[in-house]
Structure 1
Amino acid sequence: MKLSILDQSPILTGMSPRDAFDQTTELIQAIDGFGFHRFWVSEHHSTQSLAGSAPEILVAHLASNSKRIRVGTGGILIPHYSSYKVAEVFRVLETLHPKRIDLGIGRAPGGAPSVNLALNGGKFPDVQNYPTQVGDLMAYLHGEDPQNLDIQATPIGESAPPIWMLGSSGTSARLAASLGTSYSFAHFINGHGGTGAMRRYFEHFTPSIQQETPQGNVSVFAVCGETEGDAELLASSLDLAILKIEQGGNRSRFPTKEEASSYPYSLFEKERVKENRKRMIVGNPEQVKQELENLAESYGVDEIILNTIVHPFEERIKSYERIAKIFKLNEKEG
């Protein structure tokens, strides 16, 4: 089984956005040596807790500061942009870093509804046009001219970055299948219905210019401690952060484990934390390994993308390192 990383450049309490980017850079350099397969960064807008608003720029930086690992977006929010321009950006990235770039895409706003207005000239984007946009994007990436405008997305090259459609529902799975893209289910966003969505993707996949066979993975929050107790303490800060976002908080910095430990949870809030744990895997290395293997089997995939947000940053690296060791990733890469 392959293991990969989604990093959202979280801004921890006491840290700045520059610190978050420095930590993401330090993280990919460590991860590159641990044997993980790919490293994706996300697109979020107008938030005080996540620094990554322009993942295509961050991908260029991270690919230049790593050696082996695939680097990509998780993902570019296509309704905000021109398919042609996105294709040009990723043709440049592919030319600079051949066969190391992934193009993960989505259609969510990436922030509050008003983000849609700010990114689209005061109008809401036409999300109904999303399938056409994705089809055009794939065509441009492969040197075609889908709108018959006598143009190509340059620079032209021998390889093209694969499109991964990101989603958290059956709708995205059906669309990925019909367009012939790879498909990634965001279990860390929606802990329900993912196995059925992935099954529909595999059952209805249609070959495309990009690929002949379906390819899927699933992303999940994961916290691996030296002991189960350590992991629970580390994960408590993520529990509180998710709860505050659900309650309409201002998405401020991610709290410390000390803040989480002293927080006076109501009975309702405790139930919400319990429900949100369905989107997370928390435990010692043996427990995490077993649960990740169970998750992969339930989805019918051979790759899981891990998203770890803990405080302090050093524990994020240690969590991934423990998982890499229990799975013997370096031996598999070798």
Structure 2
Amino acid sequence: MKVSVLDQSPILSGMTPYEALQQTTELAKWTDKLGFHRFWVSEHHSTKSLAGSAPEILVAHLAAHTDTIRVGTGGILLPHYSSYKVAEAFRVLETLHPGRIDLGIGRAPGGMPNVNLALNEGSHPNVEAYPRQVKELMEYLHGHDPHTMDVYATPTGETAPPIWMLGSSGTSARLAADFGTAYSFAHFINGYGGTRAMQRYFDHFEGSIQQKTPKGNVSVFTICAETDEEAEYLASSLDLAILKIEQGASRNGFPTPEEARSYPYSLFEKERIRENRHRMVVGSPSKVKMELEALAEGYGVDEIIVNTIVHPFEARLKSYELIAEAFNLKP
């Protein structure tokens, strides 16, 4: 089974966005050496807790600082942008790093509602146009001229980065199937319904200029430590961070485990934490390996994408190292 990485460049409590991006760079180099398959970075706007607002720029930086790991976006929020411009940006990336670039796309706003207005000159993006944008994007990436205007995405080349449609619902699964893209389900966002969505993708997949057979993976919050007890301790900070996101509370960075352990949780908040654990895998290497393999089997995929947010950063590096050892990954 392939094991990959999703990193959201979390800004840990007491740290700066500069440090968060430096940590993402160090993590990319570390997981490249450990033998992980791909490394994706996300797009979030107007937030004080995640530093990755321009993943296409970060991909260029990370690809230049790694050797063999695939590098991509998880993902570009296509309704905000021109399909043609996105295609050209990724044709440049593919030309610089042929065979190593992934183009993950989504249609979420990437932040609070006003982000939509800021990114679209005061208007809301036309999400109804998303299917058309996907079709145009694929054609531009593969050297076609979808509107017969003698316009091509340059630089042209013999290879093209694959499109991965990202989603947390059956709707995105069906779109990926209809357009013949790869499909990635965000289990770390929605812990329910993912297996049905993935099955819908496999059942309805139609081949395209990109690929002839379906290809899927699933991403999940994962925290691994030497013992179950240590992993639970580290996971407490993510528990509190997700709880605060759900409550709409403003926060500056991800809390430390000490801050999480001293927080006065209500009975309702404790129940929400238990519910949110459906989006996580937490434990020792043997426990994590068993649960990740079971998750992949349930989804019918051969790749898991691990998203680890813990405090301090050294524990994040260690978590990926333990996972690599558990799965016997090879550089």
Decide: shared fold, TM above 0.5. yes
* Structure 1 residue identity aligned to 2:283: G
**Residue 26 of structure 1, CA deviation:** 0.5
Query: Match for residue 24 of structure 1?
Result: 24
Distance 1:165 1:31 in 2: 23
Query: Match for residue 10 of structure 1?
Result: 10
* Structure 2 residue identity aligned to 1:126: N
Query: Match for residue 131 of structure 1?
Result: 131
| Correspondence 1:329 to 2:325 | no
SS in 2 for 1:15: coil
Q: CA RMSD in A?
A: 0.5
Query: Match for residue 144 of structure 1?
Result: 144
**Residue 149 of structure 1, CA deviation:** 1.3
Distance 1:114 1:251 in 2: 18
Q: How many residues align?
A: 331
| Correspondence 1:210 to 2:223 | no
Per-residue CA distance 1:50-88 (angstroms, 9 max, x = gap): 000000000000000000100000000000000000000
Distance 1:252 1:166 in 2: 27
SS in 1 for 2:211: coil
Query: Match for residue 96 of structure 1?
Result: 96
Query: Match for residue 37 of structure 2?
Result: 37
SS in 2 for 1:86: helix
Query: Match for residue 65 of structure 2?
Result: 65
Distance 2:126 2:248 in 1: 26
1:79-94 to 2 correspondence within 5 Å?
A: 79-94=79-94
Distance 1:232 1:119 in 2: 39
Distance 1:130 1:26 in 2: 34
Per-residue CA distance 1:105-153 (angstroms, 9 max, x = gap): 0000000011000000100010000000000000000000111111100
Distance 2:183 2:117 in 1: 28
* Structure 2 residue identity aligned to 1:315: A
Distance 1:139 1:36 in 2: 30
Distance 1:247 1:261 in 2: 18
| Correspondence 1:263 to 2:263 | yes
SS in 2 for 1:329: coil
* Structure 2 residue identity aligned to 1:178: D
SS in 1 for 2:32: helix
| Correspondence 1:254 to 2:262 | no
Query: Match for residue 122 of structure 1?
Result: 122
Query: Match for residue 191 of structure 2?
Result: 191
SS in 1 for 2:210: coil
Query: Match for residue 201 of structure 1?
Result: 201
Distance 1:35 1:59 in 2: 18
| Correspondence 1:161 to 2:173 | no
**Residue 250 of structure 1, CA deviation:** 1.6
Query: Match for residue 291 of structure 1?
Result: 291
Runs of 4+ in 1 over 3 A off after TM superposition: none
SS in 2 for 1:317: helix
Query: Match for residue 106 of structure 2?
Result: 106
**Residue 317 of structure 1, CA deviation:** 0.5
* Structure 1 residue identity aligned to 2:274: K
* Structure 2 residue identity aligned to 1:245: I
**Residue 251 of structure 1, CA deviation:** 4.1
SS in 1 for 2:3: strand
* Structure 2 residue identity aligned to 1:151: V
SS in 1 for 2:116: helix
* Structure 2 residue identity aligned to 1:234: L
**Residue 42 of structure 1, CA deviation:** 0.1
* Structure 1 residue identity aligned to 2:72: G
Identity of aligned residues (%): 74
SS in 1 for 2:221: strand
Query: Match for residue 56 of structure 1?
Result: 56
Query: Match for residue 173 of structure 1?
Result: 173
Distance 1:28 1:45 in 2: 22
Gaps of 5+ in 2: none
State TM-score, norm by structure 2. 0.99
Query: Match for residue 223 of structure 2?
Result: 223
Distance 1:210 1:65 in 2: 27
